[in-house]
């Protein structure tokens, strides 16, 4: 027998009251911990993916959308830009590297990105098997895509137009898997990467086919004219979706950026600025939720306070009895204190478990919609502070009513009843 | 052994209430002896018992238990001494509500910082006839059973003095005699002095030595 044993029995003796206090505590902890986890993971994912990208060049539209589409591969692209026009700016000596991206097709819901091998290098992709692409219609598969779709080197498949998985199949030109990437925890994991030429090739076929189906003489005529004008013209018409740019000196980049925005049909977006704006927007919501969670934790403290206060009145004789049996007042004070602490600790543990459960459910949802995954992390440093906070609230809530122990008149209490 | 000499006590003065001064007669009760202290309500029976149990500090006079003068003990000393040497049985059997009968008995050991005597608890439960109830909550027991449990609790630490405050006033005649009989047998078994304060006239014939307040 020890104090903890007695306090535990006391808590079990009032299951509903204890349950309510624990429930409130764990809810508050769970909400805060979930917010911390999601915030942490989002921030990690989001900052890892914008490393080394100073500017994104794309069609005019929402700059945030451009970043989400071109960098994170979670939003629809703003539109296409002419390859030639983009190259004109990126030939500037201030540009250290420029990676063109052409998007629009997908395979089983995972995006296919037409680009150059530099894209894989940029995200430090390493090969699990196979090698990088060299020719059109060769494709490299991200770790998660390979895992979820069971793709391996040598497989071939036809892509779909659009992202919803319901677009037309480009049956006539099949992609051949030449490489599978290792997990890199970057955007590479959730995409398929192929040379720009593949995307162009697939869509040329597509256009030709559609034209043929239409059997429209006039259209056939223009089609002919088109091809007569030769390859060179065609090269100019090549379109891409966006260009990821790294400057030699980011400050100088601002000038290029301004000139592009003013003098062309394209726009530029700075990932860091857009993400800060996004986080600032989300931050208001997160702060509000944290405040609500804090209030719930405090209410839990009040619930511990009230239940101990009431039970101390009921248990006054019990306390006097234990005092008469040789217990010191400090011992009984600690007994009551540990009741508050037990509630805090159980509430904390349940809250942390609950937040992991919540994250798991959320992750599945997010994964289905965006192919973004959240790993369940070990305890965050902030969560240790949360434990300290929970213990302090439990202690305070228990200590205030428990001080009454020091005022009990043993003889009178025993004689009165 | 317990003895008192010229014991006096006054409750702390409260406004508008005249202070009542108690003076108690001298008495002594040797090891293995029993003593019945009788008195009407308001004569300070419970106060006398609480003084002997060191729950109250006397304003004058002296108390010896085991030939040790204890009237000057401060509250911490008193608590430790009481836990080790004095077993108290109250008018209404009170327990720690959340604990089982067995745990309530062992609590006496724990609070006196002694090792838990499970076998003794089992033995007492058998002698006092509640061995089947050890795992139950105390509230599931009848009044008579509860009073027997509180006797067992008072005996758990092999006290040298057992003090009982109206132990039978809530019991019917059958239970009353049974409880007193058990109380006497059990105290004599451990060789302790038994002091009972009561207004219960039924007990007069059961005790040899009487003291009237």
Condensed to tens digits (0 to 9), the pLDDT of residues B179-205 reads 888 889 888 888 899 999 988 888 888
Is residue A372 a contact partner of residue A365, using CB atoms and an 8 Å limit? no
* Residue A221 confidence (pLDDT): 43
CATH of the domain at B165: 3.40.50.300
Q: What's the burial of B179, exposed, middle or buried (CB within 10 Å: 0-12/13-18/19+)? A: buried
Average pLDDT, chain B: 88
* Residue B44 confidence (pLDDT): 85
Residue B20 bridge partners (DSSP): none
Q: Is 60 exceeded by the pLDDT of residue B32?
A: yes
* Sign of the torsion angle spanned by Cα atoms A55, A57, A61, A67: negative
Condensed to tens digits (0 to 9), the pLDDT of residues B54-94 reads 888 888 889 998 888 988 888 888 888 888 889 999 888 88
Give me B159's structure tokens.
């006290």
Tally of domains within chain B: 1
Give me A402's structure tokens.
């428990």
Give A83-114 as a 3 state SS string. Answer: HHHHHHHHCCCCEEEEEEEEEEEEECCEEEEE
Give me A46's structure tokens.
């989001």
Query: Would you place residue B100 in the very low, low, confident or very high pLDDT band (cuts 50, 70, 90)?
Result: very high
Residue A127 bridge partners (DSSP): A181
Cβ–Cβ contact A121 with B under 8 A: no
Nearest by CB to A9, which of B46, B80, B99? B99
* Sign of the torsion angle spanned by Cα atoms B69, B75, B81, B87: positive
Is residue A345 a contact partner of residue A27, using CB atoms and an 8 Å limit? no
Cβ–Cβ contact B10 with A under 8 A: no
Question: CA-CA distance, A314 to A79, in Å (whole number)?
Answer: 72
**pLDDT < 70 positions in chain A:** 165-167, 204-236, 367-377, 417
Chain A residues 305-324 within an 8 A CB cutoff of chain B: 315, 317-318, 321-324
Range of the domain at B18: 2-212
| Contacts B111 to A, Cβ<8 Å | 322, 325-327, 331
Q: How far is CA A78 from CA A57, A61, A281, A289, B187, in A?
A: 11, 6, 21, 32, 94
Search chain B and give the residue with CA nearest A6. B99
* Residue A139 confidence (pLDDT): 92
Residue B137 bridge partners (DSSP): B100
Chain B residues 51-110 within an 8 A CB cutoff of chain A: 53, 55-56, 76, 79-80, 82-84, 88, 90, 92, 94-99, 103, 106-110
Is residue A36 a contact partner of residue A356, using CB atoms and an 8 Å limit? no
Contact A324 B96 (CB under 8 A): no
């Amino acid at each position: 027998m020890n104090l903890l044993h007695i306090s535990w029995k006391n808590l079990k003796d009032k299951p509903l009251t204890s349950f309510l206090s624990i429930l409130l505590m764990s809810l508050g902890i769970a909400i805060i911990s979930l917010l911390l986890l999601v915030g942490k993971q989002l921030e990690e994912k989001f900052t890892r993916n914008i490393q080394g990208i100073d500017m994104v060049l794309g069609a005019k539209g929402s700059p945030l959308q451009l970043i989400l589409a071109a960098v994170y591969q979670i939003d629809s692209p703003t539109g296409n830009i002419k390859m030639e026009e983009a190259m004109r700016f990126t030939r500037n000596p201030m540009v250290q590297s420029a990676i063109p991206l052409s998007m629009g097709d997908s395979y089983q819901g995972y995006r296919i990105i037409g680009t150059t091998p530099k894209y894989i290098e940029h995200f430090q992709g390493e090969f699990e098997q196979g090698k990088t692409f060299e020719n059109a219609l060769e494709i490299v598969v991200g770790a998660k895509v390979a895992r979820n779709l069971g793709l391996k080197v040598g497989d071939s498949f036809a892509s779909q137009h659009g992202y919803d998985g319901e677009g037309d199949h480009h049956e006539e030109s099949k992609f051949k898997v030449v490489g599978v990437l290792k997990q890199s925890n970057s955007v590479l994991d959730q995409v398929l990467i192929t040379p720009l030429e593949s995307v162009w090739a697939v869509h040329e076929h597509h256009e030709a086919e559609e034209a043929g189906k239409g059997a429209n003489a006039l259209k056939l005529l223009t089609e002919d004219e088109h091809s007569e004008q030769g390859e060179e013209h065609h090269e100019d018409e090549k379109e891409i979706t966006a260009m990821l740019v790294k400057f030699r000196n980011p400050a100088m980049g601002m000038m290029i950026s301004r000139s592009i925005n003013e003098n062309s049909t394209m726009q530029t977006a700075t990932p860091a600025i857009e993400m800060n704006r996004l986080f600032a927007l989300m931050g208001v919501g997160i702060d509000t939720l944290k405040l609500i969670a804090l209030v719930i934790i405090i209410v839990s403290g009040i619930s511990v306070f009230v239940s101990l206060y009431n039970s101390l009145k009921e248990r006054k004789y019990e306390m006097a009895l234990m005092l008469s049996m040789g217990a010191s007042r400090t011992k009984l004070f600690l007994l009551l204190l540990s009741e508050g602490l037990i509630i805090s600790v159980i509430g904390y543990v349940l809250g942390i478990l609950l937040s992991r459960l919540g994250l798991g459910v959320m992750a599945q949802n997010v994964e289905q919609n965006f192919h973004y995954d959240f790993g369940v992390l070990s305890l965050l440093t902030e969560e240790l502070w949360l434990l300290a906070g929970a213990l302090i609230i439990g202690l305070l809530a228990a200590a205030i009513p428990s001080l009454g122990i020091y005022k009990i008149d043993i003889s009178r209490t025993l004689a009165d009843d | 052994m317990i003895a008192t000499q010229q014991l006096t006590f006054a409750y702390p003065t409260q406004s508008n209430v005249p202070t009542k001064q108690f003076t108690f007669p001298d008495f002594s009760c040797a090891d293995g002896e029993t003593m019945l202290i009788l008195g009407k309500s308001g004569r300070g029976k419970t106060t006398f018992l609480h003084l002997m149990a060191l729950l109250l500090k006397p304003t004058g006079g002296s108390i010896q238990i085991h030939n040790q003068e204890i009237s000057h003990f401060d509250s911490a000393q008193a608590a430790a001494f009481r836990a080790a040497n004095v077993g108290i049985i109250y008018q209404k059997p009170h327990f720690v509500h959340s604990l089982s009968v067995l745990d309530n008995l062992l609590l006496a050991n724990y609070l006196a910082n002694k090792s838990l005597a499970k076998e003794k608890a089992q033995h007492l439960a058998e002698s006092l006839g509640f061995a089947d109830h050890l795992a139950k909550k105390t509230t599931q027991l009848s009044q008579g059973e509860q009073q027997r449990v509180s006797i067992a609790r008072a005996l758990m630490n092999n006290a040298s003095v057992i003090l009982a405050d109206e132990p039978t006033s809530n019991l019917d005649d059958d239970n009353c005699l049974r409880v007193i009989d058990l109380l006497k047998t059990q105290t004599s078994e451990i060789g302790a002095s038994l002091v009972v304060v009561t207004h219960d006239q039924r007990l007069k014939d059961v005790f040899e030595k009487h003291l009237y307040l």
